[in-house]
Structure 1
Amino acid sequence: MNALPEHADAAHSSSTTQTHLLRMRRQRDLLRTHRLLLGLTQEEFAHRNGFSVRAVVDWENAGRITMASLYALRDALRMSPQAFDELFAVVTGAAPSLRSLAVDPDLDRVTARWAAVHVHTQPNPTVLMDGGWHARHYNASWVQIFDQVEPHPTDHPLTNPLRFLMFHPLAPELFPEWEERWLVTAVAQFAMHYALHPTHPALQEMRSKIHEIPLLEDLYAHRARRELAERGVDVIFEGDVDRRPVVVGPDRSEIVLTVLIPWHALDCGYQMMTMSPLDNSTLLPQDADPPGLPRESVHLRPQGPNAPRTPTPPARPRAAASSSAGQEPQGYVERALTVGQLLLWYRTRLLGLSQERLVRATELPVTVRTYGDWERDRRLPQAEYVPIIARAMKMPDGVRYYLHNLVTGADAPVVGTRLSPEVAQRSALWARIHVDGQPAPTAMMDGAWQVVYCNEPFRHLFAHVPAGPANSHPTQNWLRYVLFHSDARETLGEWRESWLAGTMADLVVSLTRQRGALPAEHRAFINDIESDPVLGDVYARSLSQNPSTSAASAPSLGDGDIRTIWIPDPTDPKTRLKRHVCVTVGVPLHGKAKGFCMLTISDRDDAATSLLS
Structure 2
Amino acid sequence: MRRQRELLRAHRQFLGLTQEEFAYRHGFSVRTVVEWENGGRITMATMYALRDALRLGSQAFDELFAVVTGASPTLKALAVDPELDRITARWAATHVQTQPHPTVLMDGGWNARHFNAAWVQIFDQVEPHPNDHPLDNPMRFLLFHPLAPELFPDWEERWLVTAITQVAVNYALHPTHPSLQNIRRRIHDIPLLEDLYVNRARKELTERGVNVIFEGDVDRRPVVAGHERSDILLTVLIPWHARDYGYQMMTMSPLDNSALLTETSQPCRETVRLRPQGPSAPGVPASPTRPEQARVSDVVRQPPDYAKWAALTVGQLLRSYRKRVKLSQEQLVRSTALPVSVRTYVDWERDRSLPPAKYIPVIAKAMHMPGGVRDYLHNLVTRSDAPVLGTRLSPDVAQRSAMWTRVHVDGQPAPTAIMDGAWQVVHCNEPYRRLFAHVPPDPTGSAPTQNWLHYVLFHEDARATLGDWRESWLTGTLTDLMISLTRQRGALPDEHLAFIRAIEADPVLAEAYARSVDQDPQTTPLSATTLGDGDIRTMWIPEPSAPTRRTKRTVCVTAGVPLHGKAQGYCLLSLSPHHEGDEALLV
Same fold (TM > 0.5):
yes
Superposition pairs of residues 78-477 of structure 1, within 5 angstroms: 101-279=78-256, 282-284=259-261, 290-291=268-269, 295-298=272-275, 311-312=289-290, 333-348=308-323, 350-468=324-442, 470-477=444-451
Q: 1:153 to 1:578 in 2, by over 3 A?
A: same
State the shift of 1:295 in Å: 3.5
The 10-residue stretch of structure 1 (509-518 or 272-281) with the greater mean CA deviation from structure 2: 272-281
2:564 alignment counterpart: 590
2:296 alignment counterpart: none
What is the RMSD of the two structures over their aligned residues, measured on CA atoms? 2.8
State the shift of 1:354 in Å: 1.4
Whole-angstrom distance in 1 between the partners of 2:150 and 2:254: 18
Superposition pairs of residues 567-578 of structure 1, within 5 angstroms: 567-578=541-552
Q: Which amino acid aligns with 2:251?
A: T
Tell whether the 8 Å contact from 1:504 to 1:538 is kept in structure 2 after alignment. Answer: yes
Tell whether the 8 Å contact from 2:223 to 2:229 is kept in structure 1 after alignment. Answer: yes
Tell whether the 8 Å contact from 1:231 to 1:396 is kept in structure 2 after alignment. Answer: yes
* Residues 438-480 of structure 1: CA deviation (Å, up to 9, x unaligned): 0000000010000111111111110101344601011110000
Select which of 547, 550, 559 maps to 2:524: 550
| Identity across matched positions, percent | 69
State the shift of 1:310 in Å: 5.6
SS at match of 1:487: helix
Unaligned 5+ residue runs, structure 2?
A: 1-76, 294-304
Q: Which amino acid aligns with 1:134?
A: N
Q: Which amino acid aligns with 2:308?
A: V
Q: 1:313 to 1:172 in 2, by over 3 A?
A: farther
Whole-angstrom distance in 2 between the partners of 1:548 and 1:248: 45
SS at match of 2:446: coil
Q: 1:544 to 1:257 in 2, by over 3 A?
A: same
2:45 alignment counterpart: none
Tell whether the 8 Å contact from 2:423 to 2:452 is kept in structure 1 after alignment. Answer: yes
Whole-angstrom distance in 2 between the partners of 1:550 and 1:302: 27
Q: 1:300 to 1:531 in 2, by over 3 A?
A: closer
Q: 1:168 to 1:478 in 2, by over 3 A?
A: same
Q: Which amino acid aligns with 2:163?
A: A
Tell whether the 8 Å contact from 2:225 to 2:262 is kept in structure 1 after alignment. Answer: no
* Residues 398-448 of structure 1: CA deviation (Å, up to 9, x unaligned): 111110000001100112101101000000000000000000000000100
1:494 alignment counterpart: 468
Tell whether the 8 Å contact from 1:196 to 1:409 is kept in structure 2 after alignment. Answer: yes
* Residues 6-65 of structure 1: CA deviation (Å, up to 9, x unaligned): xxxxxxxxxxxxxxxxxxxxxxxxxxxxxxxxxxxxxxxxxxxxxxxxxxxxxxxxxxxx
Whole-angstrom distance in 1 between the partners of 2:537 and 2:436: 16
Whole-angstrom distance in 1 between the partners of 2:194 and 2:243: 29
SS at match of 2:206: helix
Whole-angstrom distance in 2 between the partners of 1:473 and 1:420: 26
Whole-angstrom distance in 1 between the partners of 2:425 and 2:118: 30
Q: Which amino acid aligns with 2:319?
A: L
State the shift of 1:516 in Å: 1.3
State the shift of 1:544 in Å: 2.1
Whole-angstrom distance in 2 between the partners of 1:601 and 1:110: 14
State the shift of 1:482 in Å: 0.3
Q: 1:207 to 1:274 in 2, by over 3 A?
A: same
Tell whether the 8 Å contact from 2:175 to 2:306 is kept in structure 1 after alignment. Answer: no
* Residues 479-520 of structure 1: CA deviation (Å, up to 9, x unaligned): 000000000001100001100010011111111112311001
* Residues 171-199 of structure 1: CA deviation (Å, up to 9, x unaligned): 00000111111111111111111111111
1:506 alignment counterpart: 480
SS at match of 1:166: helix
Please give the TM-score of this superposition, normalised by the length of structure 1. Answer: 0.77
Whole-angstrom distance in 1 between the partners of 2:244 and 2:476: 18
Q: 1:363 to 1:605 in 2, by over 3 A?
A: farther
Unaligned 5+ residue runs, structure 1?
A: 1-99, 316-329
Tell whether the 8 Å contact from 1:168 to 1:312 is kept in structure 2 after alignment. Answer: no
What is the count of residue pairs matched by the alignment?
Answer: 497
SS at match of 2:230: strand
* Residues 515-545 of structure 1: CA deviation (Å, up to 9, x unaligned): 3110010000011111111111111222223
Tell whether the 8 Å contact from 1:440 to 1:609 is kept in structure 2 after alignment. Answer: no
Q: 1:313 to 1:282 in 2, by over 3 A?
A: farther
